[in-house]
Amino acid sequence: MEQRTARLTLLIDPQKKSIFEALCAKEDVTASQKVRQFIRDYIEQQLGADWQNQVLVEEEKDGARRS
């Protein structure tokens, strides 16, 4: 399971929030779960399914540069 250590705060129209929460409830997921899914899907769309490996490689490169 992913570590959840960062918070994302956003402003949304109250009516859209209410509708979104109702739709999530129909799928038996929380709004937070659905937003995390949207974010994962977007990252994969932009970077590909192996995005986690790409991020790890970049972090290793950055760490080596700082040493």
| 54 phi and psi angles, rounded to 5 deg | -65, -45
Mean pLDDT on 21-26: 98
**CA proximity to 55, closest of 67, 43, 39, 37:** 43
The answer to whether the beta carbons of residues 39 and 31 sit under 8 Å apart is no
Whole-Å CA distances, 27 to 9, 35, 67: 23, 13, 47
pLDDT of 64 above 80: no
Helix axes 51-66, 31-47, angle to 10 degrees: 80
* Per-residue pLDDT reduced to its tens digit, 28-57: 999 999 999 999 999 999 888 887 777 666
